Amino acid sequence: MWPNKQHSLGWVFVSRMIGIICFLIVVVLANILKYYVASPLYHSGVGFLNLNFWLLLLIGIIIFVADIFGAFPFPLNLPAPVIKAIGSVFIIAFVLRVFEWVDTTTGNSIYHYFWLLSFVIVPIVFIIVLLAGYYEIICDLWAKARIREASDVVVAGEMGSATSPPAASSSKSWEDIGAELRLMLYELLHRFREEIRRN
């Protein structure tokens, strides 16, 4: 899953807009079929869909905006995890409404249990989505830094003397590991400065 291959801004915009348009088409077709389907359960489902239409549309717009920010390069993609975490809260709110509708149609009483659990689930899901989003950004930066480091090593090797004897292979010491960690942090900060200057 990580690091994630970043799609272009145009691809994200077109694909998410197609998803929103398909959702609107489904809602319109479901309302048209109300005149041809006599099932009370179907009518209740379409009424539930109409009642929560704006909530579903808001969820789609939030995810759309989050994906748009996610398509930008670092550091412009930093708001994306926050927006996705907010969208996850609205998704949980919709799921709770689904359980409430199921209770009204079947006569069960499971909604109250999930409503009580939501006070625990909502902050946990919000934190998980937020941390996962920033973890994905860090992994993407780390992968790009390693690719740049590898290309720099190849270029430096090609520019070096062909007659120089190869270095003797030895196990890495703690000083070498510390030097690599410092190099990784330097590459991340260097990448941050490059993206700020570029944008």
pLDDT computed for residue 143 by the predictor? 77
165 occurs within a structural domain? no
Say yes or no to pLDDT of 96 above 90: no
113 occurs within a structural domain? yes
pLDDT computed for residue 124 by the predictor? 92
75 occurs within a structural domain? yes
Contacts (Cβ under 8 Å, ≥6 apart) of 20:
57, 60, 61, 64
Rounded Cα gap, residues 68 and 17, in angstroms: 11
58 occurs within a structural domain? yes
169 occurs within a structural domain? no
Across 107-111, 144-148, 172-176, least confident range? 172-176
Rounded Cα gap, residues 29 and 98, in angstroms: 20
Rounded Cα gap, residues 125 and 17, in angstroms: 26
Span 28-34, average pLDDT: 90
164 occurs within a structural domain? no
Render the burial of 113-128: b for 16+ CB within 10 Å, e for the rest: ebeeebeeeeeebbee
pLDDT computed for residue 7 by the predictor? 63
pLDDT computed for residue 146 by the predictor? 76
pLDDT computed for residue 2 by the predictor? 37
- Parent domain of 134: 9-151+174-198
Number of structural domains (the chain) is 1
Rounded Cα gap, residues 145 and 143, in angstroms: 5
Instruction: Read off the pTM.
Output: 0.63
CA atoms within 13 A on the CB side of 158: 5
Please give the residue that has the higher pLDDT: either 68 or 10: 68
In tens, the pLDDT along 118-163 reads 788 888 999 999 999 888 888 877 877 777 766 666 655 556 544 4
101 occurs within a structural domain? yes
73 occurs within a structural domain? yes
Percent of the chain with pLDDT over 70: 70
Q: How far is CA 192 from CA 64, 74, 77, 187, in A?
A: 25, 7, 12, 8
